[in-house]
Amino acid sequence: MPNGFAGGYSKLPDRLGGIGRALWAVHYEASRRRAQGDDIIMLSIGEPDMPTPPAIVDAAERSLRAGRTHYSPAEGEPEVLQALADSYTKRTGRLIEPSQLMFTPGTHTALYLVCQTLLDSGDDLLVPEPFYAAYTPVVSVTGANVITVPLRSDEGFRLRADDIAAKITPKTKALLLNNPHNPTGAVLSLDAVEEITRICHENDIWVISDEVYEHLVYRGTFSSPFDIDQYAEGVAVVSSLSKSHAMAGWRSGWALAPRDLMHRVRQIGEAVTFGAQPFLQDAAVFALQEAANTGAEMCAIFARRAEKACSILNDSKHIVAHEPDSGVFVMADISRTGLSGSEFAMGLLDSESVATMPGESFGESAAGHLRISLTVPDEELVEACLRLRDFASRQALET
């Protein structure tokens, strides 16, 4: 320490150990090169390339000019909580009250608050793997253990109830269910969701349901454990407007839970965020009540792109691309090239100026895979997939 100062730090930074940033190493390197002027095709992040609908932008601007720039209630403005409650009342068919909700700066914050409320150090959290890279640092902050439940590519990466049951121990506190699934795009049937939730309910295990991609299902039908009346008391939902209304940068998310749990979530939320910007919440209300859900339009676009990408990649004997049911990603098995996902992704960036996410960023079950984002215009995506296919062929020849 400079000047002889010997003050100490908490153990939290050491516990996290940079794990979150390390998982995004290829993406950060690609972003750095792009900022320096390199022409990089960015297929490494799931931000829809569609603009936020102008009517939502106008609503935010009107709110700003009306002076909605002051402090806001920690749990969220009454209007946005009511709009969300109305939306879930319509979806579930039962009365959902504003007291069951908290508005947060994005799904990431909502998940953090729910995990902090439910998990203590030493608890076990079941997480189907592969899983969204940001889960690891969020859970690590609590001191809980991530217990992975591997998903199999030959079963379409769909979670099985039997695999959950096999992982339950007296330390199991919750299941983090991501449906529709990131990174694989798999969608669970209602029967599967009901069976998984029943097992958790019978063992007094909470279900944390990440439903960000609810409105981007293009094959199959979305089902939520929160919508199953007899199990809803053991379910917390986290979601946002990022994908449904192309509002990724607006940080407009929420947590939904039974009242007793939400009371505790709000206590922690008040200590952490103490409210979101009123003008953003006004825009969220407009999006929920007045703006057309852009999910249907985006579904058609991403379904088309997924088909194009898989068609190009599967034309190679060295790649197996798994066509998704939802979302904005394609998972591709590149293990036949003899490279790991990390080696392939960095080599692809160096050689072809295409940025992807290595499967290892999403857990050991995704080793030897790439996650390919569909969030660039069609012509860019086609060009990137052609480069990827050619790179895979060259690597296979060299090994």
pLDDT at 120: 96
In whole angstroms, give the CA distance from residue 114 to residue 255.
8
Q: Identify the three-state secondary structure at position 332.
A: strand
pLDDT score of 399 more than 70: no
CA atoms 359, 42, 17, 274: torsion sign: negative
Angle, helices 259-272 vs 107-118, to 10°: value is: 110
Question: Is 306 in contact with 68 (CB distance < 8 Å)?
Answer: no
Per-residue pLDDT band for 273 (boundaries 50, 70, 90) equals confident
pLDDT per position as a tens digit, 68-107: 999 999 999 999 999 999 999 999 999 999 999 999 999 9
| Length of the chain in terms of residues written | 399
Per-residue pLDDT band for 133 (boundaries 50, 70, 90) equals confident
pLDDT per position as a tens digit, 188-211: 999 999 999 999 999 999 999 999
In whole angstroms, give the CA distance from residue 231 to residue 207.
9
Strand order across the beta sheet in which 124-129 lies: 101-104, 253-256, 235-240, 206-210, 172-178, 124-129, 145-150
Written as one string, the DSSP assignment of 112-171 is HHHHHHH--TT-EEEEEES--TTHHHHHHHHTPEEEEEE--GGGTT---HHHHHHH--TT
Domain boundaries for CATH 3.90.1150.10 within the chain: 10-51+294-398
In whole angstroms, give the CA distance from residue 216 to residue 244.
7
Percent of the chain surpassing pLDDT 90: 84
pLDDT score of 11 more than 60: yes
| Residues in Cβ contact with 117 at an 8 Å cutoff, skipping those fewer than 6 apart | 261, 264, 265, 268
pLDDT at 7: 84
Percent of the chain surpassing pLDDT 70: 97
CA atoms 60, 65, 71, 75: torsion sign: negative
Domain boundaries for CATH 3.40.640.10 within the chain: 54-289
Distance of CA 240 to the CA centre of its chain: 10
Question: Is 287 in contact with 241 (CB distance < 8 Å)?
Answer: yes
In whole angstroms, give the CA distance from residue 146 to residue 348.
31
Structure tokens at 56: 């939502």
What are the φ and ψ backbone dihedral angles of 253, each rounded to 5 degrees? Answer: -125, -175
Distance of CA 108 to the CA centre of its chain: 8
Cis? peptide before 130, omega within 30° of 0? yes
Can you give the pTM of this predicted structure? Answer: 0.93
Enter the CATH code of domain 54-289. Answer: 3.40.640.10
Mean of pLDDT over the chain: 93
> Cα-Cα-Cα-Cα dihedral of 15, 253, 68, 70, to 10°?
-20
- Of 157, 143, 216, give the one whose Cα is nearest residue 188: 157
Measure Cα distances from 126 to 17, 66, 120, 150, 175 in Å. Answer: 22, 46, 14, 10, 5
Q: Which residues of 194-209 are buried (b: 16+ CB within 10 A; e: fewer)?
A: bbbbebbbeeebbbbb
- Of 335, 383, 330, 338, give the one whose Cα is nearest residue 357: 330
pLDDT score of 32 more than 60: yes
pLDDT at 154: 87
Helix intervals (H) in the chain: 12-16, 19-23, 25-35, 54-65, 78-92, 107-118, 135-142, 161-167, 190-202, 259-272, 278-289, 295-313, 341-352, 378-398
Measure Cα distances from 74 to 77, 257, 278 in Å. Answer: 8, 16, 11
What are the φ and ψ backbone dihedral angles of 358, each rounded to 5 degrees? Answer: -65, 145
Selecting from 3.90.1150.10, 2.30.30.180, 3.40.640.10, 3.30.420.40, what CATH number does the domain 10-51+294-398 have?
3.90.1150.10
